[in-house]
Structures are given as structure tokens and as C-alpha cells.
Amino acid sequence: MASSLETERYSLVRPLFANDIALALSNPLGQPAVPFAEEAACLSPNAVAKRRQEFAAGRDAAHQAMALLGAPVQAIPVAENRAPIWPAGLVGSISHTRSCAMAVVAHAGNMAAGDIRGLGLDVEEDKPLADELWPAICSVSEQDWLRQQAKPGQMAKLVFSAKEAAYKCQFTLSARYYGFDGMELNIDVENQRFTARYCADQPPFSCGDCISGRFAIGAGLMVTTDELRV
């Protein structure tokens, strides 16, 4: 049975995704289900207990989301590039932090109008990002924007999280690595939305292309989400 905190967190995040996307949560501090052997084998033999627990919770959330979607629950191993390998016909995203793991899963579709091509999800503890880390995460204009905010440290963490979610969302299509300077954000705090704009070509995306996302802050968490459709 879900705790009141888990129920609150689910209620916070569920409205960020369309109805054709399944969302599930798992508690790394509890007793998440044991991963499939194929999944567990992807962990380093030297992985510490905390890493193993968070990994198990992430896979547990993903398996629950598959079941909610009506899809067979299958293993999600890890590719050489460390990205999850989703079963054929599915697209998803997994994120975990110390106290919460979340996953979203959807049918990949047949590339018809409205079909989902990529999903991005990032979960962070709602704690401010230290000032000295801003230059590594935020552009000059983003830092200027942060200094105008009532809670600049919290908004800096939001910039970090939103870029992580957008990166995950696009990686399904581009399979390309780039740094935090690869995108610049425009954040609409009042409406809890953001836009991540490419600062350079990252095929199939071009400089100036944008990924739109949403966010929610509450119940001790900061959650950012994206979805790309045909």
C-alpha cells in the first residue's frame, strides 16, 4: 500500500503527463521488487548498497508502469552508452533520487500523427543548487535570470533538472551526448512550463529547435517532464 507521501507525490506528477502515458513510483528507502537478473547484471560488482537500492526502485517503477499500460512486464537492461534499453514497441524514462524513484512508459506507436517518440523525466530532491555550481549548469543569460528570482538556488536546481529531462527525451532520437551548454532554457514559473532550445545542431535536431516541458515542485521533490510526439 502506498504511503501518504507517495500518494501525494503521484498526485503532484500525474497531471504533467497525458493519459496515454503510464506513471509509477517506487520507494528506494523501502523494499522495491528485485530486478530481473538481466537488469541486475548491468550493475557494477562494486556498486554500493545505495546505488543498488535506487536502481532496483527505478526498475520496479518501470515494471509497474508497464503493467499499468497493459504491456508485458519485461527486463530493461542497460546499453553500452548507459541508456535503458526499452522493449520493442515501448518508450520510457526512469529517474530516481534518494527518497523516490519514478518511471513513465508509453507505446511507441507506428509514427502516425500524435504518436510518442520520446519521453523525459527527472526527479530531484527540492534542495537549492549551490552558487558555485551555476556556471557549470547555466548559461550567462540563465544566471542573469536566476539572480532576479525570489529563490535563485531552487530555480538553479530547476534549470539543472529541466535540462536533464530534455536531454533524456531527445536521446531516444539523437543518441548524442552534449553538455549543459547544449541547451538554453526559458522558464515560465507561473504556469510551470519550460522550453529547452538547442544551441547547436544535434541531428536530427537543429540549432534553434525546442523541446517543451512541464514541472512541479512539492512533497519534497522537484520533477521535470518532456514528451516528443510525431
Based on the fold, state whether residues 99 and 130 are members of the same structural domain.
no
Query: What are 1-44's pLDDT values in tens digits?
Result: 578 999 999 999 999 999 999 999 999 999 889 999 999 999 98
Decide which of 93, 120, 147 is a domain's last residue. 120
Based on the fold, state whether residues 178 and 99 are members of the same structural domain.
no
Query: What are 185-223's pLDDT values in tens digits?
Result: 999 999 999 999 999 999 999 999 999 999 999 999 999
Q: Can you give the residue range of the structural domain that contains 41?
A: 4-120
Q: Alpha helix (H) ranges present in the chain? A: 4-13, 37-40, 49-69, 134-137, 140-146, 152-174
pTM higher than 0.85, yes or no?
Answer: yes
Based on the fold, state whether residues 9 and 116 are members of the same structural domain.
yes
Going by their DSSP bridges, the two strands 221-229 and 116-125 should be labelled as antiparallel
Based on the fold, state whether residues 15 and 90 are members of the same structural domain.
yes
Query: What are 134-193's pLDDT values in tens digits?
Result: 999 999 999 999 999 999 999 999 999 999 999 999 998 999 889 999 999 999 999 999
Based on the fold, state whether residues 95 and 63 are members of the same structural domain.
yes
| Total domains present in the chain | 2
CATH number at residue 76: 3.90.470
Based on the fold, state whether residues 198 and 214 are members of the same structural domain.
yes
Phi and psi of 118, rounded to 5°? -155, 150
Q: Which cell numbers in the block locate residue 6? A: 507517495
Based on the fold, state whether residues 47 and 63 are members of the same structural domain.
yes
Q: Which pLDDT score, from 0 to 100, does residue 146 have?
A: 97
Do the domain assignments include residue 102? Answer: yes
Based on the fold, state whether residues 41 and 84 are members of the same structural domain.
yes
